[in-house]
Structure 1
Amino acid sequence: MQTNFSMQSVTHHRTAKAGQSPFAEATVERAIRRSHAASQLLHRDTAHRKAFRALLETAAAIPRTFVAVTFAKNCGELRTMLCQPLPGEDTTQRYVTVWDALAHGYRRVNLDGIIKVTLETGVIPTTH
């Protein structure tokens, strides 16, 4: 699934990321604590995981739609990734596999660390 993005797509991603409202420190701390607490529950589902998995699966069903996923990494760093969810690709309940549109590679997102998901319907990739 190789995707070649135009400068317009990259600009769209930067604009979407810059337009995000800042996250309260407590929100980030909760995401990190939730992620650490759930680390032993790879194959069990939680309400938080189900909700975000359902949202990502719904986004994947909409043609030419990407998502900007903001999540807290275990080290506390926040990351926003423009990606396409790939439902059913992961065998655990804790992660979802995505295609990182800017890095052109597969990544796994920890559902427990997700803080925000934004649909990016204006991004239209050109494939070759």
Structure 2
Amino acid sequence: MTHTTPKPILYLKQNCPFCLKVRLYLLEAAMMEDVKIRDFAPGTQQEDDIRAELIPHLARLSFPAAQLEPGHYAAESDDIIAFLAAKSGREIASMPVYRNYVEGPFNMAMTLWKENQELKKAASAA
């Protein structure tokens, strides 16, 4: 009888830049077969079911989320990627596609998101 460690379960929301970051890491690290992925579209019953499943395990639910090991959950893309990198032995610095996304489009999207939040805050204070 062989004992196998369960695969991490990743919960990835469609059209989420943080979820894409995790997915790009998995693809470039050749780890897609090493995890179970539960994709879902925003605003669906599937999302509601996943949220209900994860809420008891996380202080703050956001996506991506993961059950990295039995009883060990995470909801930050960087934490999930760090766990996967340690598991695979792959250095993030040696992954040009992942780095290009993080340093380029992802960084630009986060800058725009922060600016938008500041504008909303200023508009509501006026």
Asked which structure has the greater CA Rg, the reply is 2
Tell me whether the two structures share a fold, i.e. TM-score over 0.5.
no
**TM-score where L is the length of structure 2:** 0.27
Could you say which structure has the higher strand fraction? 1
Which has the bigger relative contact order, CA under 8 A and spacing at least 6?
1
**TM-score where L is the length of structure 1:** 0.26
